[in-house]
Every structure is written in structure tokens, then in C-alpha cells.
Amino acid sequence: MKKIFRLTAFILLITLCFTSWGCSSCKKSERLSQYDVVANLEGDTLTAKQTFTFYNCYENSFKYLKFNLFGRAFRKDAKYSPVLPQHLSTSYPNGISYGDMEILACYQEGKTLTFSYVGEDQTVLQVDLLREVFPNESAIIVIEYVLKLADVVARTGINDNTINLGNFYPILCAYDQKGFYECNYYGIGDPFYSECANYRVRLTCAKELVVASSGKKVLEQTENDKKTTVFTIDNARSFAMVLSSKFQTISQKVDDTDITYYYYEDASPKTSLEQAVLAVKLFNEKFGKYPYSTYSVVQTQFVQGGMEYPALVMISDNLESNAYGEVIVHETAHQWWQTVVGNNEIEYGFLDEGLAEYSVVIFFEAYPEYGMTRSQMIKSAEQTYKIFCSVTDKLMGKVNTVMLRNLGEFSSEYEYVNLAYIKPCIMYDILRKTVGEERFFGALKDYYEKYSFKNATPYDIVGAFERRGADSNGFFKGFYDGTAII
């Protein structure tokens, strides 16, 4: 996600985004789990049947599966609210509103399965399987659910211009050394962590709604006042859609990818599309190839600067023009750092945010016509970070500069932005100056290639630099644990 911190000025915006560990054995798409979602949207209510084929690519067996139900975080009695108190008025312009995600039934082989809401905030679904699933075996389960959308400007919700369908379905919890990882919906950062899977999503909605989506449209049918659209994407970490009756579109092909910009209020849509096009071209060259055949850049109502999903990014309609372009670049960089190379965004959000933010520096450095220089951007970041340290020290008597910590351990959005975006951005620039251009970009390419469609950890990027001959372990450690002084 992008909380907006403008590298060119001293403005704090922000985008939220995070990562984690992962399944190292699930690499070939034919062996991935599969989501087949058939959904019907009527007003603010999405009724859906999700057929989930679980492929056990792990070394142990499973008697139950767990799914994150992010839609339940919008219910009235939720412990963790997706909306921070300071964003209540902008998130709920029409008054406080609540949503929910209710599981109606779960089946396997025609038999009803027992299920329960678990987790610290009851936002996790546990489904007990008919029988144990051993390594390399599959289980097909059906989940019927209803998602009630709140009238809220958020990743999931209805607002005056758009219907945001991020996190609209039960998504299998990532499974790592500690078991299924249950995500609490923290208001700070992007509280997500998932494994790649294949998706087929069939949505029926009012025919006047234009649907922007992760994945490729493979079917569209209109009948009376309804429209049914089918989208597919393979090897994706999640799936999102944004709907609006106001959308106009403009497209351009880059290499093998069709980039489409969806917008309803943009005086220069060609300029916005061009920034996405240039970013994809540059990052393809600098980091490695974008793997999907489509990429949707979608203007929407959003409180933060933007939000990333595989092959789709949300860009807030409430940004001034310079920040708008910068957010497009930041969110586009997340296609490399978060959607393709994933990470546990709750445990170490800085991993993808820092790389996305430094990719913005790389972008403006490569395209000087935008009028921003690398040295200006880094100087601005350093000044912003020093102000944060100084202000926090005066207010709190001490500054916690540890980057490596859980989302729930950040005391404010201000602290999170400085430690997950700004500090790592400075860190990568120092590292680049130290190890040189060839090692720096070589290590990033290696990291992208090695961890594509997997989840990486903060130690994996250290390894990528070490393998390039950069003695960087102590350097990274100093930043991670807060002992490095800027």
C-alpha cells in the first residue's frame, strides 16, 4: 500500500503494503491450489460460492484448513478496525457504516463440513475436512458466503464513485513454520500474507458497472439488466476487483502486458497511463519481467495513496497531480515487491514497502524529465526521517527505530511510515553507493528471480546481496534492529 510520503517534498501521504515466509515447494502452476469463485453482486451485498481446491504442497498432512475473512473486520463489534480513528471522517463520509462476511455453509464431496470462526478477532474460518489430506494430495471444498459491504472508503466497501472489492473472498491463510498464519486486520499497514494460487472468478452484477480486475477477462455476457464477466489469473497471491459505472478506460501494451487505466476524474489520463507504462518498462529491465498478461491501474476512492493487488492497483482519486504519478509508480513497483515476491506484511512490512519506495527513486532517476533527482529525493527522505526522530524524541523521550517488528507494535502511522518506507529507502541508497551499481541491481534481480511467487523474509534479501559478494549482513542487521544511525 502507499501511505504517501513524497520524496520530493516534505509531505506525508502513504500506501499500505506488507509480506512473509512461504511455501517453497509450490512452484509449478499446475500444482497450485485453485479458487473458483461464482459471485453475484446486488447493491451492497455479494453472495458467492467458492470452490477451493487445496493442493497439499507441504510436507505435513492437514485435518482442517484456515481462511482469513477480511470482510468480517468491518463488522460492528470487530476488535481490530480497518479504519484508524484519525481517518474516520474521510473513510465514512456518509456516516459510520458496518459490513460483514458470513459463512453460510461448507461442503466436501456433497457432505456438510463443520466450520467455526476462530482467531483473536473471529476473522478466521476453520473448516474441518472429511479426511486428512496428505502431501501431494488434494481436497475440494465449497464455501458459500455472503459479503455485506460497508459504506466506507476502504479496500473493501462501497463509496460514492466505486465499489472496492479487495479481499472479498475467504483466502487460505499462509502456512509456515508456525502453522496457519492468522491475520489481524490492523489499521496500520497492509495486514496480509498469502500464498500464490490459480483463480477463476465469475461475477454477475448490474450491467452498467465497468469491472476492473486482477487477471484476464475470458467471458462477458449481458442478459436483461445483468452482466456476467469471468476473469482468470494463474500464480497470483490474491485477487481483487473495482467496479464503477463512471469508469472510462485507456490502454497500452508493454512487452506482453496489456496495461489499462480505469478513471473517472483525470484531466490528463494519457499522462497517468504513461507513468504506469514507463514504470513497467523500467522495472522489467531493472528487476525482471512482469509475469502477467494484464495490469489494471484503477482510480478509486481510497483514504491512503493507493493499494496493490496482483495485476491491479488502486490509486486514490484524492491526490494532487505530482503525488498521483508518484503513487502510480510506487504501486506498480509493488507488482515486483509484494505480489510476485511476497512477504508476511504483518511481521515485516518494510520489506516490500522499502523496495517499492526505493523503486520510485530509481524511476525518477531514470526519467529526468519529471524533474526529480535521486540526490534530492534521498536528501528529502533523510530530512523527513531526522524530523521524525527529533519530534518523537521530544514527545516521548526516546525513539524506537527498529524496522523489524510486527504491525501491532507500531504506535502510530507516522512511526510506521518512517520505519517501513523512509528509513529502508535511505538504507537501499547507502547500500547502492557502497556495493556499486552492478552488485546492487544484480542482487535485486537475483532476489526477484529466486523468490518469484514465493514469500521471502528479511534475511533472504540479505542473502541475495551476500551471494553477489557484498558483505552486507551487518549493514542490514543494523537497520533492522535500529542500531544504525542515520
Of all residues in the shown chain, the one whose CB is closest to Zn ion is 17
In the stretch 337-356, what mask flags binding to Zn ion with x, by CB under 5 A?
----------------x--x
CB of 153 to Zn ion, least distance (A): 18
- Could you write out the DSSP letters of every residue in 156-213? EEE-SS-EEESS-S-EEPPEETTEEPPPP--SSS-------EEEEEEEEEETT-EEEE
440 in Cβ contact with 22 (< 8 Å): no
138 in Cβ contact with 54 (< 8 Å): yes
Residue number with CB closer to Zn ion (202 or 334): 334
Residues 90-129 that bind Zn ion (CB under 5 A): none
Residue number with CB closer to Zn ion (215 or 306): 306
Residue number with CB closer to Zn ion (151 or 353): 353
Residue number with CB closer to Zn ion (92 or 324): 324
Sole window of 9-17, 27-35, 163-171, 206-214 interacting with Zn ion (rule: CB under 5 A): 9-17
Residue from 236, 181, 200, 198 nearest 55 by CA = 198
User: Which residues are CB-contacts of 97 (< 8 A; sequence separation ≥ 6)?
Assistant: 150, 151, 152, 157
109 in Cβ contact with 130 (< 8 Å): yes
11 in Cβ contact with 300 (< 8 Å): no
CB of 1 to Zn ion, least distance (A): 5
Place of cell 500464498: 195
Among the listed residues 15, 34, 56, 272, the single contact to Zn ion using CB under 5 A:
15
CB of 146 to Zn ion, least distance (A): 31
Answer yes or no whether residue 392 interacts with Zn ion by CB under 5 A.
Answer: no
Residue number with CB closer to Zn ion (358 or 475): 358
Answer yes or no whether residue 2 interacts with Zn ion by CB under 5 A.
Answer: yes
The C-alpha R_g of the chain, in whole angstroms, comes to 21
* Per-residue 3-state assignment (H helix, E strand, C coil) for 278-295: HHHHHHHHHCCCCCCCEE
How distant is the alpha carbon of residue 357 from its chain centre? 14
CB of 117 to Zn ion, least distance (A): 30
Residue number with CB closer to Zn ion (331 or 460): 331
Neighbours of 28 (CB within 10 A): 10
Sole window of 10-18, 35-43, 379-387, 400-408 interacting with Zn ion (rule: CB under 5 A): 10-18
Residue number with CB closer to Zn ion (17 or 470): 17
Answer yes or no whether residue 443 interacts with Zn ion by CB under 5 A.
Answer: no
- State the amino acid at position 479 in one-letter form: F
- State the amino acid at position 92 in one-letter form: Y
Residues, the chain: 486
Applying CB under 5 A, the site for Zn ion has a residue count of 6
Answer yes or no whether residue 6 interacts with Zn ion by CB under 5 A.
Answer: no
CB of 327 to Zn ion, least distance (A): 9
Element containing residue 390 per DSSP (H, E): helix 374-396
How distant is the alpha carbon of residue 182 from its chain centre? 16
Residues 49-88 that bind Zn ion (CB under 5 A): none
Residue number with CB closer to Zn ion (260 or 343): 343
Answer yes or no whether residue 17 interacts with Zn ion by CB under 5 A.
Answer: yes
For binding to Zn ion (CB under 5 A), which residues are involved? Answer: 1-2, 15, 17, 353, 356
